[in-house]
Copies of this chain bind each other. A is one copy, B any other.
Amino acid sequence: MNKPSIVVLGAGYGGIMTTIKLQKIIGDNEADITLVNKHDYHYQTTWLHENAAGTLHHDRTRIPIKDVVDFNRVNFVQDTVESIDPDNKKVVLEDGELTYDYLVIGLGFESATFGIEGLKEHAFSINNINSARLIRDHIEYNFAQYNNEEGDRQDLVTIVVGGAGFTGIEFVGEVVNRVPELCQEYDVDPSKVRVINVEAGPTALAGFDEELVEYAMNRLEEKGVEFRLGTMLKKCTEDGIIVEKDDEQEEIKTKNIVWAAGVRGNSIVEESGFEVSRGRVPVRDDLRTPDYDDVFVAGDCAVLFNKETDKPYPPTAQIAMQMADTIGHNLKQLINGGEEFESFTPDIKGTVASLGHTDAIGVVFDDKKLYGRSASIMKKVIDNRYLVKLGGVGLLLKKGKLDMYR
């Protein structure tokens, strides 16, 4: 008797939570479970901006997969997915191939560059552990160069962040807290350093409560962040960026460009022939792709519309984790020939944006606004809750943000 095989691609929030759900609810004799991931670790995408700023070490952000997945129950393949062939139920990896009966795609996001000239070559993105660590080291290296160069090379200690969405705001919040440390480590006069946020839209954190956004911008400006709202990033060069506002162009000289203005679904999904919108598959209510009954999509590769507002739900960790629950349930139905499919409905418990250290803003329980320390504590509570869900109390103690006052 052949057991059906379930293959999960990617160990991000969606993929790893699906795997953990499956290893709980699917019996050993019901199906084989395989998890494929590029690295042998899972990481918390929502903490990467701290790694990139250098305020949190990346080892705090990543979790060895073997610590949370039971390798007796789940076959782990460390490899890179190259393409998916859903008609032949096959996945092509860098070093091999896998066939499946049921597939879960959780391949995450990549940066959307919107065709901006020079962005790919000269800007960094906060995409994963490797790229976040590189940003930290890139900024440090430029600070180290400052005192080795002739003249006042302020471009070396100017940090430009493209985008005032969630990631952009959270990153400037961290980086502006890091600046005094960088100045001390590299003997740089703090008055030489600039942190500039460039946002095309008329406001930071579009869609967030206006009062909270004002609080956030005031706090960040007090710390030295310069906001350029309604300003388009036109071009990145070796020497800096060209921005445009009201038809006037300006050059800002910088060697540190971090692009945090847009994400799309992993391009492997589109290249494999799935129907997508901005790289994301418009999944059915049960989280399967429109065309394949045996393929689920979790996390940032899926797009779902809020029927009340007719807007897509944002690609958040919270939603990715909730999707894992639904996918687990529906997969068990499929395997056992059951028909009690669950429809996915996000349950958005709250949204909190960190402003660095002990500062944050947030909305919880639909309409309760949080500022400052209480929002910051709420953020840590959410992060810790995830760790417990992922790996129990042991993982919480290892990786949790347990000091609420830092």
Contacts and interface: CB of A to CB of B under 8 A. Distances in A.
Interface of A: 129-131, 133-134, 136-138, 140-141, 144-145, 147-148, 186-187
Nearest to A136: B144
11 contacts: A129-B187, A130-B144, A130-B148, A131-B148, A133-B144, A137-B137, A137-B140, A137-B144, A138-B144, A140-B140, A141-B141
A147 B128 CA distance: 11
A129 B144 CA distance: 10
Q: How many copies does the complex hold?
A: 2
Nearest to A144: B137
Contacts of A138: 141, 144
Contacts of A187: 129-130
A48 to B, nearest CB: 14
B144 A134 contact: yes
Contacts of A130: 144, 147-148, 187
Majority-rule SS of A interface residues:
helix
Given A130-B148, A133-B186, 14 more contacts: A130-B144, A130-B147, A130-B187, A131-B148, A133-B144, A134-B148, A137-B137, A137-B140, A137-B141, A137-B144, A138-B144, A140-B140, A140-B141, A141-B141
A134 B187 CA distance: 12
A142 to B, nearest CB: 9
A108 to B, nearest CB: 16
A141 B141 CA distance: 7
A140 B130 CA distance: 13
A291 B308 CA distance: 92
B141 A145 contact: no
A136 B148 CA distance: 13
A35 to B, nearest CB: 20
Contacts of A186: 133
A136 B137 CA distance: 11
A145 B134 contact: yes
Nearest to A41: B187
Nearest to A39: B187
Contacts of A136: 144
A137 B138 CA distance: 9
Nearest to A124: B148
Contacts of A129: 187
A140 B142 CA distance: 12
A167 to B, nearest CB: 18
A198 to B, nearest CB: 23
A224 to B, nearest CB: 23
A138 B145 CA distance: 9
Contacts of A134: 144-145, 148
A147 B129 CA distance: 10
A147 to B, nearest CB: 4
- Sorted nearest first, the 4 A-B pairs with minimum C-beta distance are A137-B144, A141-B141, A130-B147, A137-B141
A129 B186 CA distance: 10
A48 B186 CA distance: 15
Nearest to A140: B137
A137 B134 CA distance: 12
A242 B144 CA distance: 28
A145 B138 CA distance: 9
Contacts of A144: 130, 133-134, 136-138
A125 to B, nearest CB: 11
Nearest to A146: B130
A389 B325 CA distance: 69
A144 to B, nearest CB: 4
